[in-house]
Structure 1
């Protein structure tokens, strides 16, 4: 009898335990929601770029007997730039023209201490630039090779009564660094600085018997020159022709 009672008690206990066990696959849980990251694809991959040089603050080769450490000169909207991009390196062609009235120091024995004249400088360059990354903000570096034609004339300036011309041609090597920021996918603003190494040929013509340059009549010089553009160009750029279409 007691064995039958023991079996009954064991059955009742097992039934109570089974009633307290819940199978995991029968429980309903709310769906797990993972917040989605907002993705915005800012495309900067274009085959071609055209740009306008809006501002520059730079030096030019030496004029007459100008002392070393040429002054920096400012110009606005006087250059264009065209680039072909291949996702790795951009190949560029650019031209700039400076045409302003200037005044500068002229150091030589018997010279006028200040010289005024019209300076015209035309520069053509070809080169390449490499982007550090391909995001909206893109630092870059590169180098240009170029040719420069420069002319200074003092004719017509009252405070420079002796007429002289300074003509200079130069071969240029110009390493540079810069950065550009895409305002919208096709439009960017860029700023760069360069250092110019130039081999120049200079011819000075003095059309008077006075000592304007310290050397009468005509002077010819070949020399190496170095000048800097802390703001060689601030450009407004427009890109077109998507690479990945």
Structure 2
């Protein structure tokens, strides 16, 4: 009798399934970011005859920031406005040692920002170029018999460093500090009374100034427009 032989060494078996380790993908790659400046603690260009080392001023909810990301660096556009009563030292012969007045400062800046990492916590650095307009008026604040207006314009460059923490994929909190190098034009008008009707004693000057913002901005940032979608 003939025996039937069956070969079994060519039988196909399904590939084994190896469970993969779950990996959480925290996507922070967005084209656009808009941010609100919630808090700042900063210096401004010198007022009147302030001594070196201007006082720091604190402000809340007074600025906006918009960023466009090209997947390498971010381009920034921002604006901020400070408007409050302040008191500061004033060093000059015959001046009051303390001056109080209404102070307003408006700044516009454009710049670039580079993140050091692209994780949930992202340190970053960069620089802004900007223009600043500020005005101080001591009228109505009881500064004896002399009243003054201090108007100043400044072109500036502001290197900065910061860090942002993504709370969720689209929402982050940022904090940054900057150092400002400014070329300023100052015009001071001193009046003999608070009517401002008399001819002022006027002073004008150009100069370089340097001031620091240890907390240039605490921001709440919202990103949108996924780059890889």
Contact in 2 for aligned 1:116/1:160 (Cα 8 Å)? no
How far does the alpha carbon of each residue in 1:39-93 deviate from its partner, in whole angstroms, 9 at most, with x for none?
1110000000000000000000000000000011100000000000011100000
Q: Is 2:200 the counterpart of 1:200? A: no
Provide the residue aligned with 1:146 in structure 2: 130
Q: CA deviation at 1:34?
A: 6.5
Q: How many residues align?
A: 209
**Residue number among 149, 153, 163 corresponding to 1:165 in the alignment:** 149
Q: CA deviation at 1:37?
A: 2.5
Q: CA deviation at 1:168?
A: 0.1
TM-score, length-scaled by structure 1: 0.82
Question: How far apart, CA to CA, are the structure 1 residues paired with 2:136 and 2:19?
Answer: 67
SS in 1 for 2:167: strand
Provide the residue aligned with 1:113 in structure 2: 97
Provide the residue aligned with 2:107 in structure 1: 123
Q: Is 2:217 the counterpart of 1:239? A: no
Question: How far apart, CA to CA, are the structure 2 residues paired with 1:189 and 1:160?
Answer: 45
SS in 2 for 1:188: strand
Provide the residue aligned with 1:77 in structure 2: 61
SS in 1 for 2:164: strand
Provide the residue aligned with 1:57 in structure 2: 41
The runs of 5 or more residues in structure 1 that have no matched partner are 1-24, 26-31, 210-215
Question: How far apart, CA to CA, are the structure 2 residues paired with 1:89 and 1:110?
Answer: 52
Q: Is 2:120 the counterpart of 1:136? A: yes
The runs of 5 or more residues in structure 2 that have no matched partner are 1-8, 10-15, 194-199
TM-score, length-scaled by structure 2: 0.88
Question: How far apart, CA to CA, are the structure 2 residues paired with 1:159 and 1:220?
Answer: 22
Contact in 2 for aligned 1:49/1:84 (Cα 8 Å)? yes
Q: CA deviation at 1:33?
A: 9.1
Q: CA deviation at 1:133?
A: 1.0
Q: CA deviation at 1:207?
A: 1.1
Question: How far apart, CA to CA, are the structure 1 residues paired with 2:26 and 2:145?
Answer: 59
Q: Give the structure with higher Rg (CA).
A: 1
How far does the alpha carbon of each residue in 1:160-180 deviate from its partner, in whole angstroms, 9 at most, with x for none?
542110000000100000010
Q: CA deviation at 1:159?
A: 4.2
Contact in 2 for aligned 1:149/1:169 (Cα 8 Å)? yes
Question: How far apart, CA to CA, are the structure 2 residues paired with 1:115 and 1:95?
Answer: 28
Alignment RMSD: 1.6
Q: List, as ranges, runs of 4+ consecutive aligned residues in structure 1 with deviation greater than 6 Å.
A: 32-35
Provide the residue aligned with 1:21 in structure 2: none
